[in-house]
Structure 1
């Protein structure tokens, strides 16, 4: 029915134009010209070459930050792991898997951070999906050993909370984004992959990446200056996430637990950390956002120290978002917290 009505409308319009042409030839020429130009533009628009706007899925917040700063408005970038969710334990739903398969690009950190990625890539086999491992080519460190106190936990709990988390990372430390110098390399890796996926935007992606990398390099310099002359080089963290940062700036991370933020240390490990803190007169025990601070609180109370946040930036909290904080802002907060602790 719509087809018939449309053609009747066209015939009626043609009749009117012919009638108008008989009455005023000059007007007909002008109107005809405009109408023809408009019709030509409308007909050609759908077939004109259009710039491809990439549909990009990223695993968790740092990958979103890096990717979005490269693409600007030239791509739709969406994080799979919702804000406020601890990414170590996240698993994709069937709906997430479908969204990833439909995407042009998947950006993930790698180095064992996303234990689900192999399953996703297997499911997306044969699709157009381009997978980007941001940490590819970097010198990945072995992670701190995971521990379980078999006297305090059942075998079932140990399997769930200890072994599974250990295998999540494959024994590797994935937290490369917490070293600004390595973050630069991750940005370059992402940029190169996106340029290959959308060559028409390659120059814009590079220009955007250059701007963001200049900010990361400034951050790197701030860390170097602030940690060059400090009273102490060691700091105690609840989660072994800051090994790359410590290595880059000549510091020593002393983790209470291993790579898994929710891992509970053994009684022996707790006693070891307490002894270290007393011997080295440690006055600050660092904990992190998104997980309980109970372990850090216990040790701080035992030695008469205070606690403070050292944020692994695995996801933004409601408070972070309310203060418009991003990777650079949180890293500067981390630097200020470290400066205080290293000079106590």
Structure 2
């Protein structure tokens, strides 16, 4: 009897070891699958937002420029460079927006396996020539190059950025191609709806000219047949000359402009000072180069900010 009991005990013991092994193996595989995400590094907010929306649960996206920081005021540190080279995919805008990018590429090791996506490839580029009256053109072109880089502010052009991101993901992770395609179509439809809403609203305003502090809205203006007039050039920290200031003041008075549109991540003092001098008001028009701390906490994204921009534009163009 004892011998029979021992045999049964041994069979149960061996079976339990096999069972535990199988469970351990499955758990290990589950952990590997959960952690086996595509590591993506982006250079600024819209690329981050689109990469997250298209990549979904298959990606881990890190944005280089911190929340609340204006990208023109930021430059990468050594740790940022390491983060890029260790990623699976690096997404940048191009068109001179990342003034440091060429120097970074020149330091890349030939063995680096990170995939690269220049999101602006294939877009309809606008020249970076400044408005008549601005006198810092040479300094601007040295910083930004010959094109205006703010291409994401047109929902139509933003679709091309999103498509390039989608294709970059498919190139390094073809297994989930169908998922990326499906999410891209959803994002593309949202951009189409946003474009139609902008078109409908802006076709029914009483004026086409708007005044901004930072000349970042060329693509938006071009898309909806508007004209931006800026206090300063494409770089938001550029100082306008006395002649720039005089020219924009004359334009505002002669055209009965009631609002100056300014952005949140740089000081509004110049816009507020001019508005006070001319007895007009200011409104926020976000160039979407980044989110404020409050916007990030509130869960804002590309679409909510663009909706707010449309509200400001509609008011300024009445």
TM-score (norm 1): 0.84
Contact 2:134–2:232 under 8 Å retained in 1: no
Contact 2:122–2:160 under 8 Å retained in 1: no
Quote the residue 1:200 is aligned against.
175
CA distance in 1 between partners of 2:259 and 2:308 (Å)? 15
| 1:17-28 correspondence runs (5 A) | 23-28=5-10
Q: For 1:212, which of 157, 182, 187 is the aligned residue? A: 187
1:26 Cα shift?
Answer: 3.6
Contact 1:53–1:75 under 8 Å retained in 2: yes
1:303 Cα shift?
Answer: 2.4
SS of aligned partner of 1:57:
strand
Contact 1:285–1:308 under 8 Å retained in 2: yes
Q: For 1:36, which of 15, 18, 35 is the aligned residue? A: 18
Deviant stretches of 4+, over 6 Å = 44-48, 146-149
1:259 and 2:234 aligned: yes
Instruction: Give the count of matched residue pairs.
Output: 313
Q: For 1:294, which of 252, 255, 269 is the aligned residue? A: 269
| 1:119-268 correspondence runs (5 A) | 119-125=103-109, 126-145=111-130, 165-268=140-243
CA distance in 1 between partners of 2:26 and 2:159 (Å)? 43
Quote the residue 1:75 is aligned against.
59
Q: Give a deviation string over 1:152-198, Cα, whole Å, max 9, x none.
A: xxxxxx8xxx8555322113100011111111111111000111011
Quote the residue 2:73 is aligned against.
89
Contact 2:128–2:141 under 8 Å retained in 1: no
In structure 2, the gaps of 5 or more residues are: none
Quote the residue 1:6 is aligned against.
none
1:89 Cα shift?
Answer: 3.0
1:341 and 2:316 aligned: yes
Q: Give a deviation string over 1:50-105, Cα, whole Å, max 9, x none.
A: 65411111101111111111111211100011111110232111111111111111
> Please, which moves more after superposition, 119-128 or 214-223?
119-128
* 1:286/1:258 CA distance change after superposition, 3 Å: same
SS of aligned partner of 2:96:
coil
CA distance in 1 between partners of 2:266 and 2:3 (Å)? 78
CA distance in 1 between partners of 2:172 and 2:56 (Å)? 15
* 1:100/1:218 CA distance change after superposition, 3 Å: same
Quote the residue 2:88 is aligned against.
104
1:324 Cα shift?
Answer: 2.3
Asked which structure has the greater CA Rg, the reply is 1
* 1:333/1:30 CA distance change after superposition, 3 Å: same
Q: Give a deviation string over 1:234-269, Cα, whole Å, max 9, x none.
A: 101111111100111111111221110011111111
CA distance in 1 between partners of 2:207 and 2:15 (Å)? 80
SS of aligned partner of 1:73:
helix
Contact 1:240–1:258 under 8 Å retained in 2: yes
